[in-house]
Amino acid sequence: MLVLNFLRYPKRLINELLIGDWLIIILSLVGIFYLFQSLWTNEHAARVQISVGNKIYATYSLNQQRDIHLHGKLGDAVISISQGKARFSQSPCNTQYCVHQGWLSHAGQVAICLPNQISLELLGERKLYDSLNY
């Protein structure tokens, strides 16, 4: 109804808007712009794909809170998922490079534990590249 009125009498409706209405409109626009910036252009990841050895072990949504317990070549490792991020939180390897990588949140990011042969890759709508030259 409001939309139809607006299309028919745009001037009248704009004149009738109160300061609160304007605030809501402006805040919504800012909100949309912010969401567009952070969710669209930064390529936040939606899922994490975990591989153990030569096999893709599973793909999980990042939109949850959970620990995944895995058994690699050396022993037990834990990958944690929390609100759009994923990381190695425990690994039996000597160097702990995988754990030091910390939280990953962008599509295309990878963490690889070579000694334990477990890797995780964040997946999004678009892949930045086909393979990583690490």
CB of 20 to another protein, least distance (A): 38
55 closest CA partner among 122, 117, 127, 124: 117
CB of 106 to another protein, least distance (A): 6
**Window 90-119: contact mask with another protein (x via CB under 8 A):** ---xxx-x---xx-x-x-xxxxx-xx-x-x
Structure tokens at 85: 């991020």
The residues, ordered by sequence, that sit 6+ positions from 63 with a Cβ below 8 Å of its Cβ are: 46, 83, 84
Half-sphere exposure of 134 (CA within 13 A, CB side): 11
CB of 115 to another protein, least distance (A): 5
The residues, ordered by sequence, that sit 6+ positions from 37 with a Cβ below 8 Å of its Cβ are: none
Q: 85, 101 in Cβ contact below 8 A?
A: no
Q: 120, 50 in Cβ contact below 8 A?
A: yes
Regarding 124 and contact with another protein (CB under 8 A), the answer is no
**Window 58-97: contact mask with another protein (x via CB under 8 A):** ---------------x-------------------xxx-x
Q: Which of 51, 70, 79, 85 is in the footprint of another protein by CB under 8 A?
A: 51
Tell me which residues touch another protein (CB under 8 A): 51, 53-54, 73, 93-95, 97, 101-102, 104, 106, 108-112, 114-115, 117, 119, 128-134
